[in-house]
């Protein structure tokens, strides 16, 4: 729960910083948030530490180059590019995967609380939810046991995990939509 709150606060701060006029100070704040996020992810997912370290090293080198630029507009743009490089890497899906898993776990609860559901719909929802739970378990086991050696490996692995979560979520949402349509037509 604390990590979800941290992510929400971080996202809000990044949004505020990105919507306001870009300055060296705002980009420095965004950079500090990005580094804090990498540190938090490193603690939470030690199997990704090599890839996170590589992103951090690359970003630090780019950041230092940005700081050396004389013209402020170019410096700000280079600083911004560094922060974007971090957020556009596998760091973003790794940061959000716990939230995506929780959202998937919570999906069927909404429909089950609405009232009467036909047995065939209950069965379809149960099967989809069971398949989703298997997917979640495999992804959680992977996150806890994997030893990632490169940024590319992390990116590929997380893309696959996010796609599997989306497929499981889409399957449940399709059944839920069907159930709601049936309830509306009754």
Number of helices (H) and strands (E), helices first, in the chain? 7, 0
54-63 burial, b for 16+ CB within 10 Å, e for fewer? bbbeebeebb
Q: pLDDT tens for residues 83-103?
A: 998 988 899 999 999 999 999
* Residues 82, 47 share a domain: yes
Q: pLDDT tens for residues 15-25?
A: 554 556 789 99
Q: Is the pLDDT of residue 140 over 50?
A: yes
* Residues 112, 49 share a domain: no
Cβ-contact 104, 138 below 8 angstroms? no
* Residues 112, 70 share a domain: no
* Residues 81, 61 share a domain: yes
Domain that holds residue 16: 2-89
* Residues 103, 85 share a domain: no
Q: What is the pTM of this model?
A: 0.77
- Which of 89, 118, 150 finishes a domain? 89
How many Cα atoms occupy the beta-carbon half-sphere of 120 within 13 Å?
Answer: 2
- Which of 22, 54, 89 finishes a domain? 89
Select the more confidently predicted residue: 20 or 69: 69
Q: How many domains does the chain have?
A: 2
* Residues 73, 105 share a domain: no
Q: How confident is the model at residue 136 (pLDDT cuts 50, 70, 90)?
A: very high
């Amino acid at each position: 729960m604390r990590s979800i709150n941290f992510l929400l606060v971080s996202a809000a701060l990044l949004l505020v910083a990105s919507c306001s006029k870009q300055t060296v100070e705002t980009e420095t704040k965004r950079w500090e948030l990005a580094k804090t996020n990498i540190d938090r992810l490193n603690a939470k997912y030690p199997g990704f530490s090599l890839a996170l370290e590589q992103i951090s090293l690359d970003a630090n080198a780019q950041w230092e180059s940005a700081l050396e630029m004389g013209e402020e507009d170019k410096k700000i743009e280079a600083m911004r590019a560094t922060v974007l490089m971090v957020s556009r890497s596998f760091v973003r899906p790794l940061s959000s995967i716990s939230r995506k898993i929780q959202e998937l776990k919570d999906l069927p609860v909404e429909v089950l609380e609405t009232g009467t559901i036909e047995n065939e719909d209950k069965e379809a929802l149960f099967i989809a939810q069971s398949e989703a739970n298997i997917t979640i378990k495999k992804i959680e086991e992977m996150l806890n046991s994997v030893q990632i050696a490169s940024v590319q490996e992390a990116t590929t692995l997380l893309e696959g995990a996010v796609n599997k979560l989306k497929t499981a979520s889409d399957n449940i949402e399709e059944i839920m939509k069907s159930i709601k349509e049936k309830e509306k037509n009754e």
